[in-house]
């Protein structure tokens, strides 16, 4: 038994439980011989420890904050699409409003943009999946790049060296043991394996095919745009009463007009003068005289006549056929029409068409001549009533004032819905187009 109380401890040792501090006289002497830390050093250590704890907690909470990116609204008539491509993958950092994925719909491609900056942590769907408006597709960890830059401060070199020395002094070093003597194994003589005789390849049984060329096949899933185009074209054939009338146009004067003015138009307006401008202008004048060609059928029992002409221009793209619309074409001149068609064609090829560029349309012109087509029967773009097809210009012999001359001739075809348009109206419209094109000056009088 001790006759006096154990000495009172100060500093960090005061926080040690009493049962561990004083167990015997030997433990008292050991504790009392340790260096005593000052109160100032203890407070500085506690302040530094609390700062590191707060820093770690704030960064961890910030990194755990996530945001889910959903399918944006596309259009009134489009509620779903196919997720075509992910432009970013898991682990990539994205900025706000940066495009992450693209969704393919029946008419256009819709971009999925990041609502906030962060790091992609999870892709909730796969490429090729059908997604609907409002469906979550991507999970983003907010501020992932900034959070990764905040790291816990490393301990000082002196403290790490001291800890390392304490660990090495406390752990006993293993004593090296002599390796037991190993005797070399006697080498065995190499074994020689006899070679087996080569057997001839088996001859194919049955008849040998008569062809030796490549017979590979590839299958590619149709895009939603091409599926929708095929569906609409087939619906058009099943719904409308198709009738097609043909004519041919002497393009001599139109070609002279183009050759004379194409350089000035390109210099002043920055657009090439082609044949779509004169054809569209001639069609607009003919539609004023035959308004039923510009009309449509509503609810199978009502005719809708229009005082304006919204021209749909058929444009072939890698993903399918699209028909962007040139609004109020009846009030435009030849150069304005050429400029508007060129802008729509460029947007279609660059996949930048919006829904407003594709909706509506009261009359369609399809120019298959640019691909070298000589003749054809176009299909009506429902719910429109008619479509005008123009084809390649070729030098052909024709009778002019009782003489045979070689002239640049172009075939034209008008397919119309016989439920609304009679044969007389369809033929008269195509004749008026021929008249305006063979005498371009007459379009200036109208």
100-125 confidence digits (pLDDT tens): 898 888 777 888 888 888 899 889 99
pLDDT > 90? residue 239: yes
- Do 343 and 429 fall into the same domain? yes
List Cα–Cα distances, 341 to 337, 361, 368, 375, in angstroms: 6, 14, 15, 23
Residue ranges with strand state E in 43-162: 66-70, 80-86, 93-94, 99-104, 109-113, 118-123, 130-132, 136-142
- Do 134 and 266 fall into the same domain? no
What is the mean pLDDT of the segment spanning 194-205?
A: 60
CB atoms within 10 A of CB 157: 8
Residues of the domain holding 24: 11-33+41-55
What is the mean pLDDT of the segment spanning 233-241?
A: 93
Residue 287: inside a domain: yes
Specify the pairing of strand 363-367 against strand 311-313: parallel
- Do 287 and 331 fall into the same domain? yes
Give the CATH number for residue 420: 3.30.559.10
Convert the pLDDT of each residue in 10-69 to its tens digit. 554 455 455 444 444 344 344 444 444 455 555 555 555 555 544 444 444 444 588 888
Positions marked catalytic? 418, 422
Q: What is the DSSP letter of 75?
A: B
Residue 343: inside a domain: yes
Convert the pLDDT of each residue in 156-168 to its tens digit. 445 455 545 554 5
- Do 117 and 228 fall into the same domain? no
Convert the pLDDT of each residue in 349-377 to its tens digit. 888 888 888 888 999 999 999 889 999 99
Neighbouring C-alpha atoms within 13 Å toward the C-beta of 68? 8
- Do 403 and 270 fall into the same domain? yes
Q: Which of 139, 142, 99 is nearest to 118 (CA)?
A: 142
Q: What is the DSSP letter of 142?
A: E
Give the CATH number for residue 81: 2.40.50.100
pLDDT > 50? residue 265: yes
Core vs surface per residue 223-239: b (16+ CB within 10 A) or e: bbbbeebeeeeeebeee
The domain total for the chain is: 3
Its sign, for the CA torsion 291, 297, 301, 305, is negative
- Do 45 and 76 fall into the same domain? no
Q: Identify the residue whose tokens are 């075809």.
A: 413
Q: When comparing pLDDT for 126 and 196, which is higher? A: 126
């Amino acid at each position: 038994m001790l006759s006096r109380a154990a000495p009172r401890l100060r500093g960090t040792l005061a926080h040690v439980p009493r049962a561990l501090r004083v167990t015997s006289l030997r433990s008292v002497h050991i504790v009392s011989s340790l260096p005593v830390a000052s109160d100032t050093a203890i407070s500085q250590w506690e302040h530094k420890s609390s700062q590191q704890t707060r820093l770690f907690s704030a960064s961890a909470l910030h990194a755990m904050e996530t945001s889910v990116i959903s399918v944006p609204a596309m259009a009134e008539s489009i509620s779903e699409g196919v997720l075509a491509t992910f432009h970013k993958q898991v682990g990539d950092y994205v900025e706000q409003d940066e495009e992450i994925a693209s969704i393919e719909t029946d008419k256009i491609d819709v971009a999925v943009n990041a609502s906030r900056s962060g790091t992609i942590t999870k892709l909730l769907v796969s490429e090729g999946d059908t997604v609907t408006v409002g469906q979550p597709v991507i999970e983003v960890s907010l501020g992932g790049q900034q959070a990764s830059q905040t790291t816990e401060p490393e301990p000082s070199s002196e403290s790490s060296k001291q800890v390392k020395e304490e660990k090495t002094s406390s752990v006993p070093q293993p004593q090296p043991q002599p390796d037991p003597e190993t005797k070399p194994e006697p080498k065995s003589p190499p074994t020689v394996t006899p070679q087996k005789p080569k057997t001839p390849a088996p001859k194919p049984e049955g008849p040998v095919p008569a062809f030796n060329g490549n017979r590979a096949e590839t299958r590619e899933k149709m895009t939603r745009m091409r599926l929708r185009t095929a569906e609409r074209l087939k619906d058009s054939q099943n719904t409308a009463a198709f009738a097609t009338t043909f004519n041919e146009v002497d393009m001599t004067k139109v070609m002279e007009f183009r050759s004379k003015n194409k350089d000035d138009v390109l210099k002043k307006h920055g657009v090439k003068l082609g044949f779509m401008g004169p054809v569209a202008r001639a069609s607009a004048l003919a539609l004023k005289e035959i308004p039923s060609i510009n009309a449509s059928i509503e609810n199978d029992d009502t005719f809708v006549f229009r005082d304006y002409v919204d021209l749909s221009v058929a444009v072939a793209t890698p993903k399918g056929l699209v028909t962007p619309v040139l609004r109020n074409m009846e009030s435009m001149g030849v150069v304005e029409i050429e400029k508007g068609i060129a802008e729509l064609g460029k947007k279609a090829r660059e996949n930048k068409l919006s829904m407003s560029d594709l909706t509506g349309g009261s009359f369609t012109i399809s120019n298959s001549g640019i691909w070298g087509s000589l003749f054809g029967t176009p299909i009506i773009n429902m719910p429109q009533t008619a479509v005008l097809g123009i084809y390649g210009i070729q030098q052909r012999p024709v009778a002019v004032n009782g003489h045979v001359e070689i002239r640049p001739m172009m075939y034209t075809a008008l397919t119309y819905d016989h439920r609304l348009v009679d044969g007389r109206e369809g033929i008269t419209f195509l004749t008026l187009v021929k008249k305006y094109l063979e005498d371009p000056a007459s379009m200036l009088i109208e």
